[in-house]
Amino acid sequence: MSQEIPKISRPIPKLNADTEEWWAGLRRHELLVQECASCGHLLHPPGPMCPECRSLDRGWRKCSGKGKVYSWVIINRPMHPYFFGKAPFPVVLVEMEEGFRVVGSIDCVIDQLCDGLPVEADFQDESDEFSMLLFRVVL
C-alpha cells in the first residue's frame, strides 16, 4: 500500500493596500515601483507615505527590470517545508537602475554570485493569481 505525499504549495505573501499593486504588476510580468506623486521619490517596499516629503499621494512607475546584485544570502536551512528540498539557494538584494533596491530569487549557481553582477527581472508564475520576481544573470 503506497502512501501519497501531499503537495506543499509555495507560501504566498499577505497583500495589503500598499503592496497589492506591486504584486498585481508581477502577475502581469511588470516590475513596478511606487513613486511619490509630489516629489518623485521612488519607494520600495511600497508604503502609505513618502519618507522624503511625507506626501500621501502615490503612483506607480514601470521599471526597466535591469539592475545589479548589491548583496545576497544563502538559505541553508529553510523555515517552510516547500523549500526543504531546494536548499541551499540564494536570495539577492538587487539595486535597480532606477536607484531603489528589491529582494528576489535568482536563477544562477551560488558560485556565480558577486557584487555588481548584472541581472534582469523575470517572472515565475506560481499559480493563476500569483507570480514571483526571479532575477536572471545578464551575460
Pick the stretch among 16-24, 38-46, 81-89, 119-127 that binds Zn ion (CB under 5 A).
38-46
Cβ-based nearer residue to Zn ion, 22 or 135: 22
**Residue 139 and residue 136: Cα distance in Å, rounded?**
9
Using the rule CB under 5 A, which residue among 18, 19, 21, 38 binds Zn ion? 38
- DSSP state letter for 138: -
Pick the stretch among 15-23, 48-56, 61-69, 129-137 that binds Zn ion (CB under 5 A).
48-56
Backbone angles phi, psi at 110, to 5 degrees: -60, -40
15 contacts 1 by C-beta, under 8 angstroms = no
Using the rule CB under 5 A, which residue among 15, 28, 55, 127 binds Zn ion? 55
99 contacts 42 by C-beta, under 8 angstroms = yes
CB of 43 to Zn ion, least distance (A): 8
CB of 52 to Zn ion, least distance (A): 4
**Residue 123 and residue 8: Cα distance in Å, rounded?**
21
Looking at residue 112, its amino acid is: Q
Q: Which residues bind Zn ion (CB under 5 A)?
A: 36, 38-39, 41, 50, 52-53, 55
